Structure formats: structure tokens, C-alpha cells
């Protein structure tokens, strides 16, 4: 069945048709509002580097046509008869997952993000066997369990990136105990994830050092994002001086890079937490881990309960993303710039005002 006829409700977005990296207008369809579903008009959607990995099939599991977008915010237009948490007019968001089994150990533990049957927001199969499509589109329909409430004091455009970049950095800071005032945490890569990692860590009372390949990001990272210090990873002398000073590091880098210098920055028992998802495996030097009982770990987004907690924490501490709002027609240029780390610090598509079914 065609994408347009699969479901009763007309939908429109931008899709990648192959791994070339180019997106173009795409007509498809969405399901009717089920009894536990929330339907909303998409107003803004952030562009995560994962969207770029997926558009180009860099992780090897993309299916086309692929409508990316998992930092989706908007306003509720319809709720199902059994929906309890939301009503028409509410400001809401959807992040990286739209389904999970709801009964495994992870789900029971509020960790739907680690459910083996989790359903990703796009390029996955929903319960009914149809393909999921993301937020570079005019409407969303999702089970209320996977819908987040956006508090009134958070501007929707700047809040959108919290749905992925926010929770992906907040969760490991909490889980790995890197949230204690006075601790020293490194953040590697000042992109979409990295810049909100700095803000969350600072709000938790942690001392933050940014480790970056871009010397021109220093002034803003220190003055504006609130980082306590800034290391250019190529600067051997300064890297050397920082050896053994950090309790933990959140590594957000999207491409291959050496881990040895990062492990060196850790104190004994320090934790290097990988959240960036390079397409190729990284080399792990083991000896420096043994010398200091250091740990290398990974972390993937967060469960629904923690995601709401993160949004509420952000609202309380006035944490939002620094964004460059773009019209949908700029999408392909934005993707090219994101590939070159040329964005301060997240592109957010103005879906509400610029995505028209005729474009
Ligand atoms: N674990 C999860 O659940 C999860 C969730 C979302 C995203 N991700 C992944 O996290 C990664 C980052 O996402 P993002 O949206 O923050 O991307 P982004 O905005 O492109 O930021 C990545 C940053 O990494 C640094 N970088 C890029 N290429 C580099 C290289 N070759 N060597 C060293 N540093 C480099 C750059 O910072 P500097 O200029 O400061 O060096 C860049 O700004 C992606 O791989 C994405 O798929 C994972
Ligand atoms: Zn993401
Ligand atoms: Zn489960």
C-alpha cells in the first residue's frame, strides 16, 4: 500500500529517499487518534546529529523513505477517549521513542529506552506493522505514555532539543553520579548534546571543562554556556596539565576520535561515558584503564519518567538549547553544515510557519 493510503489521516513532511543525504517533500499518512493516543500539530523539530547518521544510513538500519526528527514539539489537537494526562491545547513533545513492551525488566524500571522491543520514533515498525515517521512533518500521533509535557515557561523552539540532546546528557550525569556539587566533569564536543550537557552540569553545581576541537568556541563556551574552562584537544601542553583532574567525562563526539587522551584526564575511578555514536568502532586502550580502575561506559537517551523529570528540571533552572531556527527549505543546507560542526548549537526547524503541504 502507498505511504499516502496506509492510514486515514493525510500527513506531509520531508523525507530522505536513499542514503545520499538529500531530503525532499513527502506526502504520507498517519493513523487516526487511538484511545490512548495524543495527536498534535508539530510546531518545531530539532535536527539531531542522529538524524544525519540515519539519513545517510551510517548505522546500517535505515529504511527509506525516512522522515527524521525526534526532538518534536507542538500543540495537542485531539486526544483519545482513554487519554488521562493531556488535553487539547497542551504544549507537548515527543523524543526518540514512541513504543516499548511496557512489561520487561527495563520497562518496569521506567527504562523504556533500554527495552529490547522499544520502537524508535522514525524508521522503525510500529505495533501495527507500519513504518514510523518522525517530526520533520506537520502532525504527530503518539501513545500518551511517550508524550512529554512542556511547561509554560519554556519557549517551544528552544525546548525542542531537550527531547533528545537534553535527556541524553542529563541521564548519564545523574546515573553515573556526576551530579554532585564540587565534582569536575569534562564535556567532549560542543555541539547539540555537548552544549546542553554543560548547562545541566553547571545547574547541578559541577565544575565543567569543555574539551573541543574548535578553538573558536572557547569564548562563548566560557562566557555564555558557563563552562569553567576550555581545553582544545590538540593543545598538548594544556591537555597534559589537566591529566588526572576529572571525576567523569561525557563524550558527545559523532565521529572517530582517540580515547587515550580522555582516559588520561580522569582521576582514579573516573568514568568516561560515551553518548556520541560514531559509525565505526573506536580503539580502546586498556592499560590506562587498569592504572586507576577507570571505567568506560555508554548511555542512551532516557526513560519517559526521567525525561519528564529532566524537562521539569530544565524549566526550573531556565535551561534551554541555543538554537538557530531555520525554515524547512533550508533543511539540506543545515544538514551539510551539521556535518561540518557548523552550528551554534542546534538547528531547529520552524515547522509550524514554514512547512506547507504545497512546498
Ligand atoms: N546516546 C544517545 O542516546 C544519543 C542521543 C543523541 C545523539 N547521539 C549521538 O551523539 C553524537 C552527537 O550528537 P549531536 O547532535 O550533539 O552532534 P553535533 O551537534 O554534530 O555535535 C558533535 C560535536 O562533536 C565534535 N566533533 C565532531 N566531529 C569530530 C571529530 N572528528 N573529532 C572530534 N570531535 C568532533 C564537534 O564539537 P567541537 O567542535 O567542540 O569539537 C561537534 O560539534 C552523534 O553521534 C549522535 O548520533 C547519541
Ligand atoms: Zn537525537
Ligand atoms: Zn520492555
- 37 with 173, same domain: the answer is no
- 113 with 218, same domain: the answer is no
Average pLDDT (167-184) is: 98
Does residue 30 sit within a domain? yes
Q: What does DSSP say about strands 97-99 and 119-120: parallel, antiparallel, or unpaired?
A: antiparallel
Contacts for 355 with CB less than 8 Å, ≥ 6 apart: 12, 13, 14, 42, 136, 137, 138, 328, 349
Average pLDDT (201-230) is: 97
DSSP 165-210: HHHHHHHHHHHTT--STT-EEEEE--SHHHHHHHHHHHHTT-EEEE
Kindly state if the Cβ of 101 falls inside 6 Å of ligand 1.
Answer: no
The tens digit of pLDDT for each residue in 81-110 reads: 999 999 999 999 999 999 999 999 999 999
Ligand number nearest CA of 186 is 1
Kindly state if the Cβ of 265 falls inside 6 Å of ligand 1.
Answer: no
The tens digit of pLDDT for each residue in 310-322 reads: 999 999 999 999 9
Residue 145 confidence (pLDDT) above 80: yes
Best probe residue, ligand 1, of 45, 47, 49 (max atoms within 8 Å of C-beta): 49
Average pLDDT (240-259) is: 97
Distance 113 CA to ligand 1 centre (A): 20
Find the CATH number of the domain harbouring 293: 3.40.50.720
> What is residue 358's predicted lDDT score, i.e. its pLDDT?
62
**How many Cβ atoms sit within 10 Å of the Cβ of residue 241?**
10
Average pLDDT of the chain, as a whole number: 97
Distance 278 CA to ligand 1 centre (A): 8
Residue minimizing CA distance to atom 19 of ligand 1: 191
- 263 with 198, same domain: the answer is yes
Residue 228 confidence (pLDDT) above 80: yes
Range of the domain at 192: 165-298
- Give CA–CA dist 111/93, Å, rounded: 18
Does residue 288 sit within a domain? yes
> What is residue 359's predicted lDDT score, i.e. its pLDDT?
47
Residue 1 confidence (pLDDT) above 80: no
Residue minimizing CA distance to atom 13 of ligand 1: 49
Please check whether residue 143 is in contact with residue 98, taking contact to mean a CB–CB distance below 8 angstroms: yes
- 140 with 183, same domain: the answer is no
> What is residue 218's predicted lDDT score, i.e. its pLDDT?
96
- 44 with 170, same domain: the answer is no
In the chain, how many domains are there? 2
DSSP structural state of residue 131: B
The tens digit of pLDDT for each residue in 41-65 reads: 999 999 999 999 999 999 999 999 9
Amino acid at each position: 500500500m502507498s505511504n499516502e493510503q496506509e492510514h486515514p489521516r493525510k500527513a506531509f513532511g520531508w523525507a530522505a529517499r536513499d542514503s545520499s543525504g538529500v531530503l525532499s517533500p513527502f506526502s504520507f499518512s498517519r493513523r487516526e487518534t487511538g484511545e490512548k493516543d495524543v495527536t498534535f500539530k508539530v510546531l518545531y523539530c530539532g535536527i539531531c546529529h542522529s538524524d544525519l547518521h540515519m539519513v545517510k544510513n551510517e548505522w546500517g538500519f535505515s529504511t527509506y523513505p525516512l522522515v527524521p526528527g525526534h526532538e518534536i514539539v507542538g500543540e495537542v489537537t485531539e486526544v483519545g477517549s482513554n487519554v488521562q494526562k493531556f488535553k487539547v491545547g497542551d504544549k507537548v513533545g515527543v523524543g526518540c521513542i514512541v513504543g516499548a513492551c511496557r512489561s520487561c525488566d527495563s520497562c518496569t524500571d521506567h527504562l523504556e529506552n533500554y527495552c529490547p522491543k522499544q520502537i524508535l520514533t522514525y524508521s522503525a515498525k510500529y505495533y501495527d506493522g507500519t513504518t514510523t515517521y518522525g517530526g520533520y512533518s506537520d502532525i504527530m500521533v503518539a501513545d500518551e505514555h511517550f508524550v512529554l509535557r512542556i511547561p509554560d515557561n519554556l519557549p517551544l523552539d528552544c525546548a525542542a532539543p531537550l527531547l533528545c540532546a537534553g535527556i541524553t546528557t542529563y541521564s548519564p550525569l545523574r546515573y553515573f553520579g556526576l551530579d554532585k556539587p564540587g565534582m569536575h566533569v569534562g564535556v567532549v564536543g560542543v555541539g547539540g548534546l555537548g552544549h546542553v550537557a554543560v548547562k545541566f552540569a553547571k545547574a547541578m553545581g559541577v565544575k565543567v571543562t569543555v574539551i573541543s576541537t574548535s578553538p573558536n568556541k572557547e569564548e562563548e563556551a566560557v562566557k555564555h554556556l558557563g563552562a569553567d574552562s576550555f581545553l582544545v584537544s590538540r593543545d598538548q601542553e594544556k591537555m597534559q596539565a589537566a591529566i588526572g583532574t576529572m571525576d567523569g567525562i561525557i563524550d558527545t563526539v559523532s565521529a572517530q576520535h582517540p580515547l587515550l587522551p580522555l582516559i588520561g584526564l580522569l582521576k582514579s575511578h573516573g568514568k568516561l561515558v560515551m553518548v556520541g555514536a560514531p559509525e565505526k568502532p573506536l580503539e580502546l586502550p586498556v592499560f590506562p584503564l587498569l592504572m586507576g580502575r577507570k571505567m568506560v561506559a555508554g548511555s542512551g537517551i532516557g526513560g519517559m519518567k526521567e525525561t519528564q523529570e529532566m524537562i521539569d528540571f530544565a524549566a526550573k533552572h531556565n535551561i534551554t538549547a541555543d538554537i538557530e531556527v531555520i525554515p524547512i527549505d533550508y533543511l539540506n543546507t543545515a544538514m551539510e553544515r551539521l556535518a561540518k560542526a557548523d552550528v551554534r548549537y542546534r538547528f531547529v526547524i520552524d515547522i509550524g510557519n514554514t512547512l506547507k503541504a504545497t512546498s
